[in-house]
């Protein structure tokens, strides 16, 4: 099996390559420099040369706040790029996985509720609108497709919320602030990659939500990180409005993973994923 992965230098792209390679798959994990999905002719040539049996489109413009100031480029990458890959997948009669986001929803459901796969999208940001545009291109142009919405993806490498919190502690901070009125699902890239691979084997085309299970606030995530790493840092609760952002995030970004669960594809609790990620980083002390 030959698996072409876009966003191959990102945290999910690397996790996907790690999942597929041990199974004997020939993996082409392409970064932007090797496969610019917005440039039709070179992209078509790369796909033709690699001749994939499966395309996993994990590449995207993901700087949510930065996207607000660059709408044209954001739509080129996230929507037009998806169109190109959808056409190429359909031409070759191979399935395509498109990784989308909880930002396609407005987040106005009350805390304790979750967005299921049949809820109507209503993005509040350029990023969310562009990813929804990509979804629409995939549905319209690729008959054999999986659209996988996820949330708050992180890994051992990079500089996401987890690394920022640990960096504060390493710098000697004994107290930090974190948002207490926005809910989500921290999703460990290794778990997400395993779930995507399972869905791609199912042959059950459609739209899925796939996150680590459970839900928490940013404050909860920070507190659990410090607890597992045995770091004496207190986390003060603050409202999301405290932080001025260009993009409006969904206040309740929690996704119900109904469709994947019906196929037997579920991911572990977010705390379990965090524990294993910290272990990978050499930062796990307890739990």
Domain extents for the chain? 2-155+187-214+253-269
pLDDT value for 243: 86
Q: Dihedral through CA 286, CA 211, CA 281, CA 250, nearest 10?
A: -100
- Check: CB of residue 123 under 8 Å from CB of residue 132: yes
% of the chain at pLDDT higher than 70: 100
Q: What is the pLDDT of residues 217-252, one digit of tens each?
A: 999 999 999 999 999 999 999 999 988 899 999 999
Q: Which of 66, 58, 72 is nearest to 100 (CA)?
A: 58
Q: What is the mean pLDDT of residues 147-160?
A: 95
The residue with greater pLDDT, 23 or 233, is 233
Distance between CA atoms of residues 183 and 117, nearest Å = 18
Q: What is the mean pLDDT of residues 206-213?
A: 98
pLDDT value for 158: 86
Q: Coil, helix or strand for 180? A: coil
Give me the sheet containing 54-57, strands edge to edge. 26-30, 2-6, 54-57, 96-101, 145-150, 206-209
pLDDT at 159 over 90: no
Structure tokens at 89: 């997948």
Distance between CA atoms of residues 116 and 167, nearest Å = 35
Q: What is the pLDDT of residues 89-120, one digit of tens each?
A: 999 999 999 999 999 999 999 999 999 999 99
pLDDT at 287 over 70: no
Structure tokens at 153: 């993806």
Q: Burial level of 262, CB count in 10 A (0-12/13-18/19+)? A: exposed
Q: What is the mean pLDDT of residues 153-175?
A: 96
pLDDT value for 125: 98
**H helices then E strands: how many in the chain?**
11, 12
% of the chain at pLDDT higher than 90: 97
Report the b/e string of 37-70 with b at 16+ CB within 10 A. Answer: bbeeeebeebbeeeebebbbbbbbbbebeebbee
Q: What is the mean pLDDT of residues 271-276?
A: 98
Q: Whole-prediction pTM value?
A: 0.97
- Check: CB of residue 115 under 8 Å from CB of residue 123: no
pLDDT at 24 over 90: no
Domain 2-155+187-214+253-269, CATH homologous superfamily name and number = NAD(P)-binding Rossmann-like Domain (3.40.50.720)
Q: Burial level of 109, CB count in 10 A (0-12/13-18/19+)? A: middle
Residues carrying an active site annotation? 127
Angle at 106 between CA 148 and CA 32, to 5 degrees: 45
> Residues 6 or more apart from 138 whose CB is under 8 A from it?
57, 82, 86, 96, 98, 145, 147
């Amino acid at each position: 099996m030959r698996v072409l992965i876009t966003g191959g230098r990102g945290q999910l792209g690397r996790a996907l390559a790690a999942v597929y390679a041990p199974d004997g798959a020939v993996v082409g994990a392409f970064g932007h420099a090797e496969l610019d999905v917005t440039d039709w002719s070179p992209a078509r040539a790369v796909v033709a040369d690699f001749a994939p049996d499966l395309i996993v489109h994990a590449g995207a413009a993901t700087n949510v706040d930065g996207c607000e100031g660059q709408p044209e480029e954001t739509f080129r990458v996230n929507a037009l790029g998806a169109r190109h890959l959808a056409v190429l997948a359909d031409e070759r009669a191979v399935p395509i996985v498109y990784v989308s986001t909880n930002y396609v929803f407005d987040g106005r459901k009350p805390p304790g509720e979750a967005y299921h796969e049949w809820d109507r999208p209503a993005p509040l940001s350029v990023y969310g609108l562009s990813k929804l545009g990509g979804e629409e291109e995939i549905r319209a142009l690729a008959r054999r497709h999986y659209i996988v919405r996820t949330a708050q993806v992180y890994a051992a490498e990079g500089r996401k919320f987890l690394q920022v919190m640990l960096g504060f502690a390493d710098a000697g901070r004994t107290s930090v602030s974190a948002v207490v009125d926005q809910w989500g699902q921290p999703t460990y890239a290794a778990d997400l990659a395993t779930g995507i691979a399972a869905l791609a084997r199912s042959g059950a085309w459609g739209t899925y939500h796939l996150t680590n299970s459970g839900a928490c606030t940013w404050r909860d995530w920070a507190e659990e990180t410090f607890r597992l790493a045995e770091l004496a840092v207190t986390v003060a609760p603050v409202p999301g409005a405290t932080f001025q952002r260009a993009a409006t995030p969904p206040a309740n970004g929690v996704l119900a993973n109904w469709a994947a669960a019906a196929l037997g594809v579920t991911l572990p609790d977010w705390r379990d994923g965090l524990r294993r990620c910290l272990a990978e980083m050499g930062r796990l002390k307890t739990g």
